[in-house]
């Protein structure tokens, strides 16, 4: 059964979200480990329970960073990629970037009052949640184009920054960027401590995620690969600036993920983390290389602490983060690691 916002609508566009300004997360992050060995013994990955998932990460890092290992990987080839929505932060019941776009509609209409009585803007302005949830894919695209393009890069960045400090998630009543999975922050930190470059490779908007990636994930903007639109260079009062154009350059989802990795990074990752069918090709591409490779999928099976969705293991289907039985079967066949949020994660969020 399809949910309110069809996955296809969201996967394929400039979506996603986040943030706030409290540096709460950082209090819980252990210092960067000097090496795999010391990290393992001094308790890297403290929010992970012992088990095959944690062990797979430790084994991978040991194999790729020990010079005596036959699977040693040169530092310049240590690339790890992470999907964002559902892999690094909460995506349920609606991608945060979609919330941002809906929240921006009143400002767009204020600038262009003719839109007031034009669909889908009229429905969004009505505040009728059920009607909004039923918007069609073409309608959603109109909203995305109207709220994510047509302004300068600087204006866009300022708007997102402002929104992140005020918007709250509907369940936890916290800024969206509080809803980052603490165990995944620890994996990124652990990999970086062992010479890996960590990249976000998201179906969400590249420009959107770059606004908070450094603050929230310690990932600089140039290490965020996402769905990207063209910009147009121009001048205002003699000063150069870039305008965000409604022209899609990279649809960073499914096959677009390895294509985006090639465009933006230029070499395949040795480790890749995802949580849905949108990440399948990225994991296959990662696994196609020689030597040590780590492919992991986050499974949302913890209705109490977060959400439970996805057909794997008989969980109900969902509108976001579709993790199909076929993907689950492929993971088992290819020896990818499925992470159970319920069993593998001691803690989900830093604020717990």
Judged by CB under 8 A, the stretch of 12-20, 130-138, 248-256, 290-298 that binds a copy of itself is: 248-256
Q: Interface with a copy of itself includes 284 (CB under 8 A)?
A: yes
Q: Interface with a copy of itself includes 262 (CB under 8 A)?
A: yes
Nearest to 60 by CA among 47, 45, 49: 45
> Residue 164: CA atoms inside 13 Å, Cβ hemisphere, count?
25
Cβ proximity to a copy of itself: between 140 and 331 the closer is 331
Report CA-CA distances (Å) from 326 to 255, 298, 310, 313, 331: 16, 15, 11, 12, 9
Q: Interface with a copy of itself includes 38 (CB under 8 A)?
A: no
Cβ proximity to a copy of itself: between 120 and 274 the closer is 274
Cβ proximity to a copy of itself: between 261 and 320 the closer is 261
Q: Interface with a copy of itself includes 137 (CB under 8 A)?
A: no
Q: Interface with a copy of itself includes 112 (CB under 8 A)?
A: no
Q: Interface with a copy of itself includes 264 (CB under 8 A)?
A: yes
Find tokens 């439970």 and name the residue: 308
Identified binder of a copy of itself from the candidate list 232, 325, 332, 352, rule CB under 8 A: 232
Query: How far is residue 97's CA from residue 124's CA, in Å, rounded to a whole number?
Result: 15
Q: Interface with a copy of itself includes 326 (CB under 8 A)?
A: no
For a copy of itself, what does the binding mask look like between residues 197 and 216, x meaning CB under 8 A? x--------xx--x---x--
> Residue 85: CA atoms inside 13 Å, Cβ hemisphere, count?
36
Cβ proximity to a copy of itself: between 224 and 292 the closer is 224
Identified binder of a copy of itself from the candidate list 156, 212, 285, 349, rule CB under 8 A: 285
SS3 state of residue 19: coil
Q: Interface with a copy of itself includes 239 (CB under 8 A)?
A: yes
Q: Interface with a copy of itself includes 32 (CB under 8 A)?
A: no
Query: How far is residue 5's CA from residue 172's CA, in Å, rounded to a whole number?
Result: 21
Identified binder of a copy of itself from the candidate list 249, 302, 324, 351, rule CB under 8 A: 249
Map 276-323 to HEC letters: CHHHHHHHHHHHCCCCCCEEEEEECECCCCCCECCCHHHCCCCCCCCC
Identified binder of a copy of itself from the candidate list 24, 108, 125, 263, rule CB under 8 A: 263
Cβ proximity to a copy of itself: between 47 and 97 the closer is 97
Tokens found for residue 10: 């969201």
Angle of helix 96-111 relative to helix 153-166, nearest 10 degrees?
A: 120
* Non-local CB neighbours of 138 within 8 Å, separated by 6+ positions: none
Size of the site for a copy of itself (CB under 8 A): 36
Query: How far is residue 93's CA from residue 90's CA, in Å, rounded to a whole number?
Result: 8
Provide the 10 A C-beta neighbour count for residue 250. 18
Q: Interface with a copy of itself includes 195 (CB under 8 A)?
A: no
| In the complex, least distance from residue 218 CB atom to a copy of itself, rounded to whole angstroms | 10
Identified binder of a copy of itself from the candidate list 51, 220, 291, 316, rule CB under 8 A: 220
Identified binder of a copy of itself from the candidate list 87, 227, 281, 337, rule CB under 8 A: 281
Query: How far is residue 133's CA from residue 320's CA, in Å, rounded to a whole number?
Result: 13
Provide the 10 A C-beta neighbour count for residue 2. 10
Q: Interface with a copy of itself includes 290 (CB under 8 A)?
A: no
Q: Interface with a copy of itself includes 152 (CB under 8 A)?
A: no
Strands 224-236 and 239-250: antiparallel
Identified binder of a copy of itself from the candidate list 133, 288, 303, 326, rule CB under 8 A: 288
Strands 79-82 and 197-205: parallel
The residues pairing with 240 across neighbouring beta strands, listed in sequence order, are 235
Q: Which residues contribute to the site for a copy of itself (CB under 8 A)?
A: 76, 153, 197, 206-207, 210, 214, 220-222, 224, 228, 230-233, 239-242, 249-250, 255-256, 258-259, 262-267, 281, 284-285, 288
């Amino acid at each position: 059964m399809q949910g309110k916002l069809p996955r296809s609508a969201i996967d394929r566009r400039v979506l996603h979200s986040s943030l706030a300004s409290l540096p709460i997360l950082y209090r819980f992050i252990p210092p960067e480990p000097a090496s795999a060995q010391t990290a393992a013994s001094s308790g890297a990955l403290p929010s992970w329970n012992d088990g095959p998932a944690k062990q797979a990460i430790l084994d991978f890092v040991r194999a790729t960073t020990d010079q005596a290992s036959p699977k040693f990987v040169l530092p310049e080839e240590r690339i790890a990629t992470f999907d964002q929505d559902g892999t690094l932060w909460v995506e349920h019941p609606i991608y945060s970037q979609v919330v941002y776009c809906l929240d921006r509609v009143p400002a767009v209409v204020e600038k262009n009052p003719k839109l007031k009585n034009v669909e889908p803007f009229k429905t969004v302005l009505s505040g009728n949640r059920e009607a909004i949830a039923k918007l069609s894919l073409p309608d959603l695209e109109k909203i995305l184009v109207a709220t994510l393009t047509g302004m300068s890069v600087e204006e866009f960045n300022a708007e997102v920054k402002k929104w992140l400090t005020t918007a709250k998630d509907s369940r936890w009543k916290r800024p969206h960027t509080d809803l980052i999975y603490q165990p995944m922050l620890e994996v990124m930190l652990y990999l970086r401590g062992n010479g890996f470059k960590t990249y976000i490779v998201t179906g969400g908007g590249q420009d959107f995620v770059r606004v908070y990636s450094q603050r929230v994930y310690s990932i600089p903007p140039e290490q965020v690969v996402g769905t990207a639109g063209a910009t147009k260079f121009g001048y205002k009062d003699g000063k150069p600036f870039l305008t965000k154009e409604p022209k899609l350059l990279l649809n960073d989802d499914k096959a677009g993920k390895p294509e985006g990795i090639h465009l933006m990074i230029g070499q395949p990752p040795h480790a890749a983390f995802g949580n849905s069918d949108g990440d399948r090709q990225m994991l296959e591409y990662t696994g196609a290389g020689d030597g040590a490779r780590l492919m992991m999928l986050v499974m949302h099976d913890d209705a109490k602490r977060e959400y439970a969705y996805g057909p794997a293991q008989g969980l109900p289907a969902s509108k976001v983060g579709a993790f199909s039985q076929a993907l689950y079967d492929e993971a088992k066949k290819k020896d990818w690691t499925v992470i159970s949020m319920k069993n593998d994660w001691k803690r989900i969020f830093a604020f717990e």
